[in-house]
Structure 1
Amino acid sequence: MTAEGGGAPAPAVPPAPAPTEPPRPRGPGVRGLEIAVPAYVWANDAMLTDLTATAPAPSVVVLNPGNGDAPFDARWRSRADALRGATTATGEKTKVLGYVHTDHGNRDLAAVKASVDNYLKTPDGRLHVDGIFFDVVSRECGPDNATRDHYAELRRYVEDSMQAVDPAAPDLVVDNPGTAIADCYLEPGHRTADVFVTFEDTYAAYTGAGWLGGNVFDPLTGYRAGTELDPTGTAFWHLVHGVPDAAAMRAALRTAFERGAGYAYATSATMPNPWNTGPAWEHRAQTGYAATLG
């Protein structure tokens, strides 16, 4: 993903194999599709103003002050509080996440934790976000699962930091590899996040060879939907940019749901930064339509 005026390279994506299994229908009690928006704009940008007023509201909004390292100052905290006051189609409140980049696990751990602290250890001693969005995440387990365990430690750090401020606060951690994630990241007892962004690319890629055939993969058995690792239907998030029109937006959301995503976002904006402006259609056109899926 890109940040305000900047960005990081996307993970390399291997050639797409044939899908290993068709999409599966959701089981009883599993949530439908929800909208989760990366909003890489300034605190008072029109995109965030629109999202704050959207009804039904998006389920998740990612805030990104200066690639995650600019101060999360009073204006940002005020915007986060306003977004968290909005109501989603499920009757819950919007969750706000702070953006933190990780350079595929190569960024110094102390620097990553300092970025997390920027959001969770504020001067007023209060939580203004609901968790952290880790970007530029490796999709590989690493030797002896070392890379996976690096991200598991970051998740624990977020959980511990939030509980130190408010023991009753639920936390939401997202990892964004931008492509299918190795299934070791969802292994019980070692899971690195609540939600994984398992697609981030263009509409043309999403409807063509850019879809690898699943949300998770195993080096030996290939790609699969990962539904057995996702009992609530909320573990996967698809981000689609370069969507040509509102009809294609609805098609992208339907496809995301069929492919096992619990969260999705489709925008007409294009590279080099599709997340620093809103789509051609109103946000409520997307939040309202997503609420019909499921």
Structure 2
Amino acid sequence: MFLCRAAAVAVLLLTSLVGTAHASADGPGVSLAVPAYFNPGELWGRLADPGVGIVVANPFSGPGKDVDPTYAKAIADAHAAGITVLGYVATGYLGSTGRATRLGETTPLAWLAQAQQETARWYDLYGSYGLGGVFLDEVQNVCGPANAWSDTYRALDESIKSLHRGAFTVINPGIGTEECYADIADVSLTFEGTYETYRTWQPPAWQRGRDPRRFWHLVHATATREQMAEALSLGRQRGAGYMYITSDVLANPWDTLPDYWQDELDAARPQDTTPPARPGPAVAVRRGPTTLTLVWRPSPGATGYDVHVNGLRVTGTAGRMPSVTLRNLDPDTRHTINVKARDAAGNASAPGVAVPVRTRKPDRDPPATPGDLRAAQVKVAAVRLDWAHAGDATWYDVLMNGQPLLRLPAALLTDDATVPVTGLTPATSYAFTVVARDATGNDSAPAGPLTVTTAVPSGDPISEASGSVTGGEATYQARYNLPFDFHHVYVDADNDAATGFAVASIGADYLIENSWFYQHAGTGWNWTPVDMNPLVSSADDLFVWRVPITGAHRVVFHGSGGSPESYSPVITVS
């Protein structure tokens, strides 16, 4: 009976492939998706429009340590207006370009752990205010050796969606990706650049004909309303279901809204507002303990589908094919599933009939309990955890004070790897447990709890500040003794306090921020990125940077975010 039913569904799938999706007269609909890298207030209020689908919140290049009441209200108001608000999370290209985590590491495991912790903090601070998911920035666009990078991003996406059910995820490589990224995250941001570049840019061939709501384009330096209209038209032709166009320019083109914002809202609205027919009920053609492969009768004109489990949207299809595989489900559990169809204009159908589907029971052999759970390192605001691995584990769950924090693929935990936990409070005790999970969803008995107390800070917030000039380069170093989100070096290259950005009695012509390098432009807080990574190392909180600056000059070190703002004395470098 089951085989006959699956065969009948397969016939329906083949039938769907020979049909064509209808499109509105003005092309696919575009939903505006805005990186709102400006403080809550009047501008955030102007985002509350049906034409806006996504807004990215970014208080401190991440969530910060404490709830900001203004952001909490802005997120709640946007959520009430039907907008999906995403929290900003950096992934550092998984360290492949030399970008280092807060603890100075450049391994995929370290970046995966930091990104998951940032995500957990976003949900801890703003989940109750309507946070809809996360925006994963600094994403690689190539598969990597033996698909290592794309597989790690897939694991990150799966872990976020399993630990935070209903999370909507976006990856931002900023350029077209290889096809190995097609099923990673709900949306891929595949263009981030100027209007002049966008005029001649083309997406990768594999993206053509896919669901437009899988792709997002950001176009800045678009000076006029006419250019904005042209960019929108090009985006429709290139299959972008999400766009944002602004006249703003680098260094931060996302720190305001354009003067033509209302015109952009009007131009993006589709003429076609007729929703597609609702799809048929989902049928499980393959069931596993933690996975379900589903198919359903297609909806004529649909370009994609959203799948809801127990009332939450958990994933979308990669294209028109009415089929999806759900992963990381709880074993031996009844799940209620229905499907909505979307057309090229972005219209959503009524939900299909909800059907109950039960995952299979896991096998009877749970993995071994991870052994020898210990703190390999304890710092002021971070610890490193280590444990003996269970041979049959596919994932490890790390819980902090009884709450899920990390879900790490066992393949990334080599024998000498330790797991960093950052963003902790100094002189505070935390209880950690680790659980191994196998491929069928069995959990081991927990290892722990292990109680760890972070160190007490001592001395100046910033110490050991020094610098030197050798061979056409300046090297700066300082030890940051408190957990700062931002580690700055302000550089007064011309020794003139009247030029550059005024700070701590100097005029900064250059700025180092973590692993980014900027040159001052114009007046006030206005910086242009310099294409290089100045960070040499940050082991044991001793940050070392190297930049192409010569001659005697003055610098001041600065820390902010996560701890009270602090400056070092001004020093002369020669």
TM-score (norm 2): 0.39
Deviation at 1:127, TM superposition (A): 5.7
Q: Pairwise mapping of residues 50-89 of structure 1 onto structure 2 (< 5 A)?
A: 50-52=46-48, 55-71=49-65, 72-86=67-81
2:122 corresponds to which of 116, 119, 122: 119
Deviation at 1:128, TM superposition (A): 2.2
Q: Pairwise mapping of residues 14-25 of structure 1 onto structure 2 (< 5 A)?
A: none
Letter in 1 for 2:192: E
Q: Partner residue of 1:37?
A: 34
Separation (CA, whole Å) in 1 of partners of 2:30 and 2:234: 10
Deviations 1:242-286 (A, max 9, x none): 00111111111111010010100100000110001111213x322
Q: Does the 8 Å CA contact 2:175/2:189 hold for their aligned counterparts?
A: yes
**More helix as a share of residues:** 1
Q: Does the 8 Å CA contact 1:116/1:132 hold for their aligned counterparts?
A: yes
Q: Does the 8 Å CA contact 2:86/2:132 hold for their aligned counterparts?
A: yes
Deviation at 1:104, TM superposition (A): 0.9
TM superposition outliers: structure 1 runs of 4+ over 4 Å: none
Deviation at 1:292, TM superposition (A): 2.8
Q: Does the 8 Å CA contact 1:239/1:264 hold for their aligned counterparts?
A: yes
Alignment of 1:173 with 2:173, yes or no, is no
Q: Does the 8 Å CA contact 2:51/2:269 hold for their aligned counterparts?
A: no
Alignment of 1:271 with 2:268, yes or no, is no
Q: Does the 8 Å CA contact 1:42/1:65 hold for their aligned counterparts?
A: yes
Separation (CA, whole Å) in 2 of partners of 1:73 and 1:192: 31
Q: Partner residue of 1:8?
A: none
Q: Does the 8 Å CA contact 2:73/2:129 hold for their aligned counterparts?
A: no
1:285 corresponds to which of 263, 282, 289: 263
2:150 corresponds to which of 148, 151, 156: 148
Separation (CA, whole Å) in 1 of partners of 2:80 and 2:218: 24
Q: Partner residue of 1:90?
A: none
CA RMSD of aligned residues (A): 2.1
Separation (CA, whole Å) in 2 of partners of 1:126 and 1:85: 12
Letter in 1 for 2:155: E
Separation (CA, whole Å) in 2 of partners of 1:259 and 1:33: 11
Deviation at 1:288, TM superposition (A): 2.1
Alignment of 1:253 with 2:232, yes or no, is yes
Deviations 1:227-253 (A, max 9, x none): 35x3x3211110000001111111111
Q: Decide which structure has the larger Cα Rg and report it.
A: 2
Alignment of 1:227 with 2:208, yes or no, is yes
3-state secondary structure, aligned to 1:121: helix
Give the 3 Å change call, closer, same or farther, for CA 75–161 of structure 1 in structure 2.
farther
Deviations 1:162-212 (A, max 9, x none): 22xxxxxx33110000000111011xxxx221111111000011113xx1x
Q: How many percent identity over aligned positions? A: 32
- Structure 1 residues without counterparts, runs of 5 or longer: 1-25, 87-92, 164-169, 215-222
Q: Pairwise mapping of residues 179-218 of structure 1 onto structure 2 (< 5 A)?
A: 179-186=175-182, 191-208=183-200, 211=201, 213-214=202-203
3-state secondary structure, aligned to 1:139: coil
Separation (CA, whole Å) in 1 of partners of 2:128 and 2:178: 35
Letter in 2 for 1:81: A
Q: Partner residue of 2:90?
A: 101
Residues matched between the structures, number: 235
Range with greater deviation from structure 2 (199-208 or 68-77): 68-77
Deviations 1:139-166 (A, max 9, x none): 0111111101111111112212222xxx
Deviation at 1:225, TM superposition (A): 5.2
Separation (CA, whole Å) in 1 of partners of 2:154 and 2:69: 30
Separation (CA, whole Å) in 2 of partners of 1:101 and 1:28: 38
- Structure 2 residues without counterparts, runs of 5 or longer: 1-19, 96-100, 102-110, 272-344, 346-574
Separation (CA, whole Å) in 1 of partners of 2:125 and 2:47: 24
Separation (CA, whole Å) in 2 of partners of 1:147 and 1:127: 33
| More relative contact order, 1 or 2 (CA 8 Å, 6+ apart) | 1
Separation (CA, whole Å) in 2 of partners of 1:174 and 1:59: 13
Separation (CA, whole Å) in 1 of partners of 2:123 and 2:79: 15
Q: Does the 8 Å CA contact 2:220/2:246 hold for their aligned counterparts?
A: yes
Q: Does the 8 Å CA contact 2:31/2:52 hold for their aligned counterparts?
A: yes
Deviation at 1:29, TM superposition (A): 7.1
Deviation at 1:57, TM superposition (A): 4.1
Q: Does the 8 Å CA contact 2:51/2:268 hold for their aligned counterparts?
A: no
Q: Does the 8 Å CA contact 2:84/2:132 hold for their aligned counterparts?
A: yes
Give the 3 Å change call, closer, same or farther, for CA 225–35 of structure 1 in structure 2.
farther
Separation (CA, whole Å) in 1 of partners of 2:71 and 2:218: 24
Give the 3 Å change call, closer, same or farther, for CA 117–73 of structure 1 in structure 2.
farther
Give the 3 Å change call, closer, same or farther, for CA 225–265 of structure 1 in structure 2.
farther
Q: Does the 8 Å CA contact 1:225/1:259 hold for their aligned counterparts?
A: no
**More strand as a share of residues:** 2
Deviations 1:36-95 (A, max 9, x none): 101111233x3212213xx33411111111101413433322210101122xxxxxx211
Q: Partner residue of 2:519?
A: none
